[in-house]
Structure 1
Amino acid sequence: MVQFERSDENVGGRVLQGAMFLAGARLIVRFISVINLAVLGRLLTETDYGIAALALVPIALLQVFSDVRITSALIALDDIDERHISTAFTIQVLRGIIIAAMLFFAADPIADYFNAPALRDVCRWLSVVLIFDGLKNPAFFLYQRNVDFSKEFWRVTVAQIVAGIFTVSAAFILESYWAIVIGMIASRSVESVLTWWRVPIRPWFSLSEWRIFFSYGSWLTFAGMATQLQESAGSILFGRYLGTDPVGSYTMGKEVSDLALAEITAPLRQTLFPGFGAVKNDRERLIRSVKTAMGTLFGISLPLGVGLALFAPEALMVLVGEKWLDDAYIVQVLAPVGALTMSIAVVDSLAMALQKLRGIFYRAVILAVISWPLIYYAMLEQGLLGGVLAVGVVRLIRVIFNMFFLRGMIGMSILTMLATAFRPAVATSVMAAALFLLPRTYDPATLGSALTLLWTLPYVALGIIIYTIVTSVLWRMAGRPQDGLEANILHYGGGLLQKLRANILLYGGGVLQTVRQKLRRKRQDD
């Protein structure tokens, strides 16, 4: 049964459990994504990736311009009933139909703007995706309201498995950008269908509570517009002035950078919003939760981002093949900057939980105003390299803005925020220095994917060992504080091991007892 009520009991445990469910889903999704990336990277060209990436730009803009944050409102509002669910469903359906029609009829001018005729048919087919998005059952997301992500695990996992099968099959058969289009349609359609499976609430058409959703989502919608304009600046400018091939290279570099960063930290980030919402009325617990979340995200993202930058050529060779090695500089720029961006991602979740939405809007507008001219002039001066460096600078500026925004919301000092990153930053620096100074006796371009992986694994293992040792030493020297990744691993990891041990003893003992009883009966029969 779907629970409307929000509970503040054992929030930390439920957040971790939710993160584990999402981590499991993300692990499966990443495994499928790695297969997709390996296949597509070898079968498709930069032009194919560029066309697919440019088609996604108008879709993202249309979606964010019409977004009233249905799911966020359902999670954040204190009192909801089935009227809210039906209103949310009706808004979604109308929105999906309208923006799908807009994309369908805008296909010609979009293709003309980017001077890419292939975009016409791609945009028209992808308009189907927007209709499927509008048909999702909003009641499905009420599970997240109570920090229950088990249903989301199955939805994401099944959808990605289906999408992976369709994408890889189409790539082998068609060897074109249509493989990406087919995979996206398959994924979104299955995701939509699964929001209705075993969810007891069946919404119908109603707009009785529309004012609540539009009043809640207005600032987030405006902020989303500005953020999407800022995030799309690189793809739009590169596509307009450099062509589809550079857009393909830029997209591939971003995908490889996000492969480790965004996806590994996503489970924890997705649970932060409902987690903060559950303790938002207890200031002390809220501040403690924010510090713990920041310390944990720093502890995961910093070594991943820096390590990926150090081994960018190896990552590209293993994942997508030799023809993408010239794009290693994109990963080297975006990965470490992305690590910092992931670490401050708690800010948006906290702002939504506290309904400090106007600040998100102001920050997004300022960044959009900065990003377009900065990327444009850097691109004119240095081509794609200059544009990528400008994208990195904009992301760093966003991190700085987030720190001041966080201080304004809960009064946490900048020094306290930096302190949460001290141990991960020092450990990452030591790890990076050791790996950088260690000579590499191989060349990824001449080894091939399999041998490059074998040669790289010892370096990766060494980096993990160095980071773990340095972090542990610093944590003990600091008096074993409870606001970081180390304490979470020991606390929740120890609890999980105890449960696992208890289950093994319980069920293992039961099995042994059954075996003994059968042996005893057999002796008696003999």
Structure 2
Amino acid sequence: MSLSKPTSILRGTLFTVVMRWTDRLIGVISTLILARLLVPEDFGIIAMASIFIGLVGVFLDVGVHVALIQNKNPLQSHYNAAWTIRLGQVLLSASFVFFSAPFAADYYGDARVVPVMQWMALGLFIAGFENIGTINFQKEMRFGLDFQFMFFKRIASFIITITAAFIIENYWALVIGTLVGRIVGVILSYWLHPMRPRLSLEKFGEIFGISQWMLVSSIGGYLDNNLHKFIVGRQADSSTMGAYTLGDEISGLPTSELLAPLNRVLFPAMVQVKHDRTELKRLFLLLQSVQTTIAIPVSIGLALIASDVVAVLLGEKWFVVVPFLQILAIVHSINAITTSCGYILLTLGWVRYSATIAWLQVVCFIVIAFLLLPDSNAVEIAVARVISVLVGLSVVFTLLLRVMKNIKLWEIIRSISRPVIATIVMALSIFWIKTVIVLSPFFSLVTEIIVGAFVYVFALGSIWLLFGRPAGAESYFTDKLIVLRRENN
């Protein structure tokens, strides 16, 4: 499949966007309700446990899904091997989490982390039994089943978490909701897909040949995204940790919820055209343009209106989140530029390059945080994160140009220049509003969103027309809207 079949790709992307946004809407509503029922300290305890669990749990996602998606005609034995590998790794992961809980509590200086980690280790173990056949929902673009799987698992966790929060009013509500979500996920996976995997290592070599590099890449990626939280958890109290973690989660919503659905649809499409370097180049430049057109203005816009967002959605007790949200939103806007580059490397099988990028950013962050800023506070740690992802951005462009020799640096810059310029214009308009208009936080937030969105779209369209309507996100969305209108008439 390629983007020469625009309607199927667009519909798939739209369906996945709806699916992802529904999932995140439930998550956001849950977070907002819990923020009113609980305190930053509760979020901090769960964040402390989750980071350690995530570091170990990264072994659960070692890339067996990538190996199966890249294989155009996988046999049942491939699925059995992938399921077996995942089961073995999740057993080790859950055991390590359970027995390392006291050490994590010593690291954070909070004994409450121990029982939380041990119960969540059980959830990690349960999740390993999910039906490996559900990978075909993405591989075969069966988005209806993918949506059902996601929705029912999320809604069950949501209902139980909120109910428990009303009753016990502490962090255990989050633990209970997570366990229920894991159990429901396993049940749903076998209800929605007929595959019944069994223990087998027949195709172990083929699956693990890709998975071992995905393992290295996944660990590096996890450390890249979470090492800063490890340090904050060590140097700050649980309340600061909770605020920092929530700020990171909110700041990442624009990129994760807008780009992840697009990537989920286009990754299988890119795999199918990977031998046609001309088409792959076209697809990459278009993907790069679409991602930056959407994610950069939303991330930067969120940073600019952070104080009003926190005041309206979370309440005054969460104002400590504001500086973290502002700085980390910049991190996620930079990551939006590198995302499509990473998918090109995965598509072409250069998993080790993806691993190199992630680990390089980890090393860069360690140098800044431990050597240059050894006594850094939470805000300074967030700034160090910005610097490390900027280094990663330069490296990923270098590796991409090495792998895709038919792509030039100026072509990449051209694909992202228009949304960057339009975002600057939008930012100036929001600064102007804050200077000349004084409103309540709610009306200020609404005004800034409406004006910022209008100015950005107008500026982007004007720049596109000024440059002679070049190929990119603007022409792509315009063409698809025309196609959909014709089909509906």
> In the TM superposition, what whole-angstrom CA distance separates every residue of 1:376-431 from its partner, at most 9, and x where no partner exists?
35654441111111112112222222211221221222221111111111111111
Q: Please point out which of 298, 309, 317 is paired with 2:311.
A: 317
d(CA) in 2 for partners of 1:107, 1:436 = 47
Partner of 2:448: 459
Instruction: Verify the 8 A CA contact 2:353 2:399 in the aligned structure 1.
Output: yes
d(CA) in 2 for partners of 1:128, 1:440 = 55
CA shift at 1:117, angstroms?
Answer: 0.5
Confirm whether residue 479 of structure 1 aligns to residue 455 of structure 2.
no
Residues 68 and 384 (structure 1 numbering): CA distance in 2 closer, same or farther, change over 3 Å? Answer: closer
Instruction: Verify the 8 A CA contact 2:235 2:377 in the aligned structure 1.
Output: no
Instruction: Verify the 8 A CA contact 1:40 1:320 in the aligned structure 2.
Output: no
Instruction: Verify the 8 A CA contact 1:424 1:471 in the aligned structure 2.
Output: yes
Partner of 2:428: 433
Confirm whether residue 182 of structure 1 aligns to residue 176 of structure 2.
yes
> In the TM superposition, what whole-angstrom CA distance separates every residue of 1:458-503 from its partner, at most 9, and x where no partner exists?
221111111111111111222222322x22222222333334x34x
Partner of 1:263: 257
Partner of 2:329: 335
CA shift at 1:12, angstroms?
Answer: 4.3
Instruction: Verify the 8 A CA contact 1:376 1:387 in the aligned structure 2.
Output: no
Give the number of aligned pairs. 487
Q: CA RMSD in A?
A: 2.0
CA shift at 1:229, angstroms?
Answer: 2.3
Q: Please point out which of 197, 211, 227 is paired with 1:203.
A: 197
CA shift at 1:212, angstroms?
Answer: 1.0
CA shift at 1:133, angstroms?
Answer: 2.2
> In the TM superposition, what whole-angstrom CA distance separates every residue of 1:286-313 from its partner, at most 9, and x where no partner exists?
0000000000001001110111111000
Structure whose alpha-carbon radius of gyration is higher: 1
Confirm whether residue 496 of structure 1 aligns to residue 484 of structure 2.
yes
Instruction: Verify the 8 A CA contact 1:280 1:286 in the aligned structure 2.
Output: yes
d(CA) in 2 for partners of 1:406, 1:153 = 33
Partner of 1:507: none
> In the TM superposition, what whole-angstrom CA distance separates every residue of 1:154-184 from its partner, at most 9, and x where no partner exists?
2112222222212221222222111222222
| 1:280 aligned partner, one-letter code | K
d(CA) in 2 for partners of 1:270, 1:223 = 18
d(CA) in 2 for partners of 1:22, 1:49 = 29
Structure 1: runs of 5 or more not aligned: 1-6, 503-526
CA shift at 1:363, angstroms?
Answer: 1.8
Partner of 2:67: 73
CA shift at 1:258, angstroms?
Answer: 1.5
> In the TM superposition, what whole-angstrom CA distance separates every residue of 1:213-260 from its partner, at most 9, and x where no partner exists?
111111111122222223221111111222322211210111121223
Instruction: Verify the 8 A CA contact 1:167 1:183 in the aligned structure 2.
Output: yes
Instruction: Verify the 8 A CA contact 2:369 2:376 in the aligned structure 1.
Output: no
Residue correspondence of structure 1 range 273-352 to structure 2 within 5 A? 273-352=267-346
| 2:267 aligned partner, one-letter code | F
d(CA) in 2 for partners of 1:304, 1:424 = 11
Instruction: Verify the 8 A CA contact 2:305 2:448 in the aligned structure 1.
Output: no
Aligned to 1:135, what secondary structure does the other structure show? coil
Partner of 2:382: 388
Q: Please point out which of 143, 152, 158 is paired with 2:146.
A: 152
Instruction: Verify the 8 A CA contact 1:237 1:376 in the aligned structure 2.
Output: no
d(CA) in 2 for partners of 1:221, 1:238 = 25
CA shift at 1:280, angstroms?
Answer: 0.6
| 1:415 aligned partner, one-letter code | W
CA shift at 1:108, angstroms?
Answer: 1.5
Residues 31 and 378 (structure 1 numbering): CA distance in 2 closer, same or farther, change over 3 Å? Answer: farther
Residues 59 and 11 (structure 1 numbering): CA distance in 2 closer, same or farther, change over 3 Å? Answer: farther
Residues 199 and 299 (structure 1 numbering): CA distance in 2 closer, same or farther, change over 3 Å? Answer: same
Residues 413 and 427 (structure 1 numbering): CA distance in 2 closer, same or farther, change over 3 Å? Answer: same
Instruction: Verify the 8 A CA contact 2:42 2:171 in the aligned structure 1.
Output: yes
Structure 2: runs of 5 or more not aligned: none
Aligned to 2:62, what secondary structure does the other structure show? coil
| 2:452 aligned partner, one-letter code | G
| 2:184 aligned partner, one-letter code | V
TM-score, structure 1 normalization: 0.88
